[in-house]
Structure 1
Amino acid sequence: MRNAWSAATFSQGNGMRYQMSKRAFALLFATAQGVPLLGWGCCAAAEDLPTIPQPPLLKATGAASVKPKQGTLQLQNLMTLPGQFKLEPETPQTVNMELEIRYLDGFINNPSEGKGKGDHVQLRGYREWCDASRQKCAGTDGKAWTQTFVAPLIDAKPGQTVRVTLHNNLPPDPSCVSQGGSANTPHCFNGTNLHTHGLWVNPAGNSDNVLISILPQVAFQYEYNIPQEHPAGTYWYHTHLHGSTALQVSSGMAGALIIRGDRQPQAGDGEKGHGDLDTLLKPSDDGQFQESTLVFQQIQYACRDKDGQVKTDSDGRYLCAADDVGKIESYDLFGPGKWEKSGRYTSINGVIMGALPEATVGRVQRWRMIHGGVRDTIALELRLRRPHPARDIAGLTAEGSQDYVAQECTGDPLPLTLVAADGQTMGQAMAKTRVVFQPGYRWDALMVFPQEGDYCLINRVKSSNVDRVAPYTRLLGIVHANQAAAGRMDASPAAIERHLKAQLIKAARKNYPREVASLVVADLEQGMKLTRFVPHADILPSEVTGQQTLTFNIDTSVKGEAFFQVDGKPYDGSRMDRVLPLGGVDEWTLTSDFVSHPFHIHVNPFQIVKILDPQNRDISGPKMQRGMDEDDDQYVGLKGVWKDTLWIKNLYSGDSKSGMTPQKGKYTFIVRTRYERYIGDFVLHCHILDHEDQGMMQNVRIALPDSKGKPTSGHH
């Protein structure tokens, strides 16, 4: 792998070679289906890097879900995935992980400071426990810790139990016990808990419970029982204690969580046994469908002077001297425009502006991509870099990155063919040359590189973004594509689509019995449809049993103050904002009165019905419409798609110079969701995490219903 800005070379057992600065980076691999997950750390020696344990794959014996009987209220789950299967004898029933949370010392590459220069940082982070049975471990009493600023991969199967033990070894924090003042003032920076973002699991007890506090010097074990019907897909986990979520996630306390499925689609009508996309996209001996998981993070550390002020240059870009230690200890680092102005760089699996896994011309890769950041927009493009000698990117500043892309990354944009949103397989593959990630988003994309060379992975942010800054462009990394024996292929989007479709059809015929393969192939031939892999049945209007409305707002009526609200109220931990019946089906209307916010709700995903722009046009259809806002391409093709996080847009920014009112800039989002299987309390919130910490959140309770479907309370 070529990497002109690296200083050391490491080898992996699969024959691939990686280059990076020994001081700034470490290389961490997690094998998934025999394919490496790239997890690049910061500071350990290569020989000390362990492999994250992976559970073996399971095999499923599919049976269709049972349809509810008529007449009485039915509360069983309505998933359409085949749910009855057994774990193979060699497959462990549990996936166990132990994580310590403490301050970690290391180095983060800062390209602005020159080639190989890393800033010394001290950040709260996860360290994985590894026992003496693993050869790479060493230390007192046979135990040691590994270190990285991106959390390790959790890899599991439907039907397994995932146990994660957190040891909070951060120093005591008095604000966790007696904070005083508003609960929506950031506090308890050393308390923690854990959220499995997007998982359909129990929100109560020691499962996906974000309403508990794990205080310093306390250990707690989470237990996630993954239901047999759980969709396979790309999820993630991160800290979620109200008051410190943004600060801890920005420190790197986030990681990928992959649910892998072996359930093949079943023959018959569309209501019977949809399968897991993993069974179609099996990595093959000829190199097709090899997989990479990419976690995007924004670690916004700063160095401060003796008065506690952030050190900056004349342009406001953050500075750290050789003897400084970068930290994240205050919420003054978060706010509109601060990420872009800081000059910090988005990292991918812990590496800043590094080399991504190599590709081969014509071979299909599956990229699992996760926005694990706090409050910025990422808009990915891939373009072929001009032939060597290209300019060295060592010493490239954030500002210089835009010029570099304009001069060096001059190829036509490469299609990213999206097949899953937020872990949920889409009904039809969708090719885009610019893929927008708002905080919390995940996209699975199939990649085909049509010719040999280096490709620039670019973040091209347009006008509608989280930080409300002017459009800008950054280089995120480089992908090198090796020449295939067959030579280069036609690089046109149409040719790439034909090639991808042919590979998918070939895989279907190879992986499925003839009757099933014929159904999957017929769908693929009709516009690359994936209807046999969508994990949920569409929610029809006739199913809807209730209506919900939600409006985000930031109250700026008091000079110098901002109050973050949902439905006109800041978060109150003692207030239950919504009580909803198990088995109910709601249609939600989502809006924002002031700027834009990513809506996220725990436990149950939702299906997008329509997205109306300020002119009342539905912009979620398959094509851009004349007169649409340039950034509304992020909504094209989302009608009918299942998600758990959605960007609720409003062009109104409160700037009197714009001449705009909230209503003139307001978008309206209609989604539907089912409340299945689980009762308990959880939250919905804005996924700009400093907004959540300051009050843009609500409590939600799913309760057992009475015979008429209305929620009940305890009878005492």
Structure 2
Amino acid sequence: MNDRSKTPAISRRTVVTGAGALALTACLPDVGRAQGPTQAPACTAAGGAACGKPENALIAPPERSSDPDRRRLEVAIDAVYGYYDLDGRPVALRGYDGGPRPVTLRVRAGDTLALDLANRLPMGPTPAAATAGGHGHGNGHGHHGAPADIPGMSGLNVPHGFNLTNMHVHGLHVSPKRPSDYVLLTVEPGRTEHYSYAIPPNHPCGLNFYHAHHHGSVALQVASGMAGALIVEGKVDAIKEIAACKDVVMLLQSLPVDERGQLEDYRTLDVGTQVYINGQRNPSICMKRGEVQRWRLVNATHDRFLTLKLREHGFTALGYDGNPLERTEPADTIFLAPGNRAEVLVKATDKPGLYPLDGGSNFGVAYGTIGTVSVTEEQCAMKLYEGPLVSYADDFDGHLKPIADDEIVTGRRVGFGQIGTLPSWTWTIDGKPFAADEKGFTAKLDTAEEWVLTNQTNDPHPFHIHINPFQVLEASGLPVPVPAGRWLDTITIPPHGHVRLRTRYRDFDGPFVFHCHTLAHEDQGMMRLITVEA
């Protein structure tokens, strides 16, 4: 790695201290290098003219689907620098396969996803470590890029190793052991990791995503665009009225860059509050009058809390966080914290025109218009499906059945906080920052637990746990209420608030993690291990 440390500035959002700004400018080719071929606009020829300039029409990510006969999807993904135009300016950003729209993966329950992740990011000399005072002294600690210790912080929890990576399949209920969803490994530059995810036959159908998850580099890599949609198709997809809808994948992304068009230092994570959709700023989402589309929304940002509202339109929700609802639900707004996903139907008004999709205003940050629906003159009368989707009692082998009182074997109270004082604090869970060699929590396979999550800080913390989803019992103080009984894998604990939930440990033993999905917080210590024992 050619990581040269700089000292990041302190901000409320990233709160980076000490080393952590690892510049790679010297090993980057010219940022102005042209982008390769892009996909054709998603709009049809009939609707394209009404959607403004063709290049502003929403571009769909490419897709790969599993072979229905082999029940297998084999895909190779390269972690590599992409050189392309972002909102009219040339950029150089880490990503998957060289562009801002990573491939959408489609599988079905019972399939195997064989994913080869090749780290083709540059490898350079040992990075220098910066001191808390901000002056690098060249005393790096090995090719993993771990910076020197800073009072109040351990080197592991100072952002580092920005070209080290791995893969997490966020939302999939699969084994946490290698070669499956084991996120405690490091894929170094020049290496390829061969992942194999055996998706259970009883897996719920819904929208998940895959993204980088190497502790220390997660925020910077995901903010750069290292995240793509991962769809498990099933019963909901077979409903005739839903199957007739155009399927629109929308990756909501951060993509902050400095004046050079790069993201090489944690200070840049705080540049602006923009939200891109599929690598585009405020794209046109083309719809005919009366058309119904299925939107698959992934909050793949590193720290944006979005409340989506579409002017003069509503949403019909199909599911959240990869878990289908039992029946459709009407919704005026959709709240998506970092890591959340939502699947909704949208029926276009009969009045042609432009309708802003607003990102809302949450926790002191306003996002404004992130996309614009362009309703064309052409009519396409479609029925908006409203009705049953799945049965939690009968489908998925009881995977989403409500967790009864008599299933609970223990309770936990888990506190999200911080220790130290500026400029040297770190984020914690139960008063401790992440330690790779800690035992962490232990639980028993085929049991269920009830957790109370408390937030002792002034910042919201989206709690995410790997492998098993959870059922929300109580959540207050959120921009959009979460009803009791909702199955999620990510939920926001509001400042000085709490959340109560239940989770089952089904099918898989082994170690995995839970953490804050404000990814700068995770990189700086807000993550813990949990091991399910057989």
Q: TM-score range by the shorter chain?
A: 0.7 to 0.9
The alpha carbon displacement at 1:55 in A equals 3.0
CA 427–217 in structure 1, closer or farther in 2 if over 3 Å, else same: same
Shift of 1:289: 2.7
2:489 corresponds to which residue? 644
Matches within 5 A, 1:582-621: 582-595=445-458, 596-612=460-476
Whether the aligned pair in 1 keeps the contact of 2:117 and 2:193 (CA below 8 Å) is: yes
CA apart distance, 1:301: 1.0
What is the correspondence of 1:452-467 to structure 2 with a 5 Å cutoff?
452-462=351-361, 464-465=362-363
Partner residue in 2 for 1:206: 179
Q: 2:215 aligns with which of 237, 242, 255?
A: 242
C-alpha displacement of 1:243: 0.3
* Offset of residue 126 of structure 1: 1.2
CA gap 1:668/1:283 in 2 versus in 1, 3 angstroms:
closer
| Match status 1:233 vs 2:206 | yes
CA shift in 2, pair 1:480/1:680, >3 Å: same
The amino acid across from 1:163 in the alignment is A
- Indicate the SS of the match to 1:333: helix
| Distance in 2, Cα, partners of 1:15 & 1:454 | 17
1:187: which partner in 2? Answer: 160
Secondary structure of residue in 2 paired with 1:166 = strand
Q: Determine helix, strand or coil for the equivalent of 1:121.
A: strand
Alignment of 1:278-677 (within 5 A): 278-280=237-239, 283=242, 288-303=244-259, 325-334=260-269, 338=270, 342-343=271-272, 345-356=274-285, 358-383=286-311, 413-462=312-361, 464-465=362-363, 468-469=364-365, 472-483=366-377, 500=384, 503-504=385-386, 520=388, 536-555=400-419, 557-595=420-458, 596-612=460-476, 632-636=478-482, 638-650=483-495, 666-677=496-507
2:462 counterpart SS class = strand
**1:610-633: CA deviations, max 9, x gaps?**
2255xxxxxxxxxxxxxxxxxx45
Q: Are the aligned partners of 1:380 and 1:457 in contact in 2 as well (CA < 8 Å)?
A: no
The count of aligned residue pairs is 471
Contact 1:427 1:641 in 2 (8 A): no
SS in 2 for 1:250: helix
Partner in structure 2 of residue 124 of structure 1: 94
Q: Give how far 1:379 is off.
A: 1.5
Shift of 1:688: 0.3
Shift of 1:290: 2.6
Q: Distance in 1 between matches of 2:57 and 2:313?
A: 30
Question: Which whole-Å CA distance do the structure 2 matches of 1:177 and 1:640 have between them?
Answer: 43
Structure 1 stretch displaced more, 545-554 or 687-696: 545-554
Q: Which amino acid aligns with 1:234?
A: L
| Shift, 1:532, TM fit | 6.8
Q: Structure 2: which amino acid aligns with 1:349?
A: N
Do the aligned partners of residues 178 and 481 (structure 1) sit closer, same or farther apart at CA in structure 2, a change above 3 Å counting? Answer: closer
Distance 1:24 1:360, change over 3 A: closer
**Deviation, structure 1 residue 645:** 0.1
What residue number does 2:79 align with?
A: 101
Asked whether the 8 Å contact 1:239–1:254 carries over to 2, the reply is yes
Instruction: Report SS of the residue matched to 1:164.
Output: strand
Residue 674 (structure 1) shift: 0.4
Q: Cα offset for 1:11? A: 6.9
Per-residue deviation at 1:432? 2.1
Structure 2 distance, partners of 1:187, 1:685, is 18
In 1, distance between residues paired with 2:485 and 2:168?
Answer: 26
Change (3 A) 1:14 1:448: closer
Pick which of 11-20 and 433-442 moved more: 11-20
Q: Normalising by the residue count of structure 1, what TM-score does the alignment of the two structures yield?
A: 0.61
How many Å separate the matches in 2 of 1:669 and 1:201?
25
Q: Secondary structure of 2:220's match?
A: helix
Q: Secondary structure of 1:53's partner?
A: strand
Alignment correspondent of 1:131: none
Letter in 1 for 2:158: T
Cα drift, residue 23 of structure 1: 12
Q: 1:692 to 1:485 in 2, by over 3 A?
A: closer
Q: How much has 1:14 moved relative to structure 2?
A: 6.9
Cα distance per residue 1:177-199 (max 9 Å; x no partner): 36243100111111100000000
- Match of 2:156, SS state, is coil
Tell me the CA shift for residue 461 of structure 1.
Answer: 2.8
Q: CA deviation at 1:530?
A: 8.9
CA deviations on 1:258-308 (whole Å, 9 max, x unpaired) are 0111xxxxxxxxxxxxxx222225555xxx4332111100101112xxxxx
Change (3 A) 1:191 1:16: farther
Distance 2:432 2:184 in 1: 19
The structural deviation recorded for 1:649 is 0.7
Moved more, 325-334 or 171-180: 171-180
Residue 667 of structure 1 and its aligned partner are, at CA, apart by 2.2
> CA shift at 1:380, angstroms?
1.0
Deviation at 1:9, TM superposition (A): 11
Is the CA contact (8 Å cut-off) linking 1:548 and 1:589 kept in structure 2? yes
Q: CA deviation at 1:682?
A: 0.8
Whichever residue aligns with residue 687 of structure 1, its letter is H
- Paired residue for 1:160, among 101, 111, 119? 111
Structure 1 equivalent of residue 133 of structure 2: none
2:520 counterpart residue number: 690
Question: What is the rounded CA distance, in whole Å, between the counterparts of 2:433 and 2:39 in structure 1?
Answer: 51
Structure 2 residue identity aligned to 1:690: A
What is the SS of the residue equivalent to 1:352? coil
Which amino acid in structure 1 is aligned with residue 207 of structure 2? Answer: T
TM-score w.r.t. structure 2 length? Answer: 0.81
The answer as to whether partners of 1:163 and 1:224 remain within 8 angstroms in 2 is yes
| AA in 1 matched with 2:457 | F
Alignment counterpart, residue 509 of structure 2, candidates 643, 663, 679: 679
The aligned amino acid for 1:586 is E
How far off is 1:484 after superposition?
A: 6.2
Greater strand fraction, Structure 1 or Structure 2? 2
Contact 1:25 1:108 (8 Å CA) reproduced: no
Contact 1:458 1:477 in 2 (8 A): yes
Over 3 Å counting, the alpha-carbon distance change for 1:53 and 1:421 in structure 2 is closer
Matched, 1:700 2:533: no
Check the 8 A contact 1:552/1:696 in 2, yes or no: yes
Corresponding letter in the other structure for 2:249: T
The whole-number CA distance in structure 1 between the counterparts of 2:528 and 2:143 is 21
Letter in structure 1 aligned against 2:470? F
For the residue of structure 1 that corresponds to 2:193, the secondary structure is: strand
1:459 CA displacement: 2.7
Pairwise CA distance, 1:382: 0.9
Rounded Cα–Cα distance in structure 1 between residues aligned with 2:502 and 2:468: 10
Residue from 124, 144, 147 that aligns with 1:177: 144
Map of 2:66 onto structure 1: 55
Cα distance in structure 1, aligned partners of 2:204 and 2:350? 35
